[in-house]
């Protein structure tokens, strides 16, 4: 978990397999870290959402938004190809898609 937190790569992934206990532990650990960083008697945590987003983060948000849009387009193209394949009677299981 510490390796994930300290990673500079925004694409870094936290590998917890499919174990819900590990996932639960990660959330507990993150909660613990958040509470450690909170300043007692301060309403700073409630103001965090109202702070302006730094330019670097805005660029990252735009990049990710563009990436999601591109993936959505790719998925729509593939879905349309599958629909055309089914309509042309090629959905018998041994069509072109299985040889790709």
Tens-binned pLDDT, residue by residue, of the chain (100 aa): 677 777 777 777 777 777 788 777 877 888 888 888 775 655 544 444 555 556 667 888 888 899 999 999 999 999 999 999 898 886 555 555 554 4
Enter the tokens of residue 83.
Answer: 């629909």
Which residues 6+ apart lie within 8 Å of 69 measured at CB? Answer: none
Does the global pTM surpass 0.75?
no
Q: What is the DSSP string of 35-100?
A: HHHSPTT--HHHHGGGSPPPHHHHHHHHHHHHHHHHHHHHHHHHHHHHHHHHHTT--SSSSHHHH-
């Amino acid at each position: 978990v510490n390796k994930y937190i300290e990673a500079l790569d925004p694409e870094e992934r936290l590998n917890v397999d499919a174990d819900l206990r590990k996932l639960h532990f990660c959330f507990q650990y993150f909660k613990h870290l958040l509470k450690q960083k909170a300043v007692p008697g301060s309403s700073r945590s409630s103001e965090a959402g109202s702070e302006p987003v730094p330019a670097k983060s805005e660029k990252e948000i735009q990049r990710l938004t563009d990436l999601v849009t591109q993936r959505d387009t790719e998925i729509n193209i593939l879905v349309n190809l599958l629909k055309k394949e089914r309509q042309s009677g090629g959905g018998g299981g041994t069509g072109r898609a299985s040889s790709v």
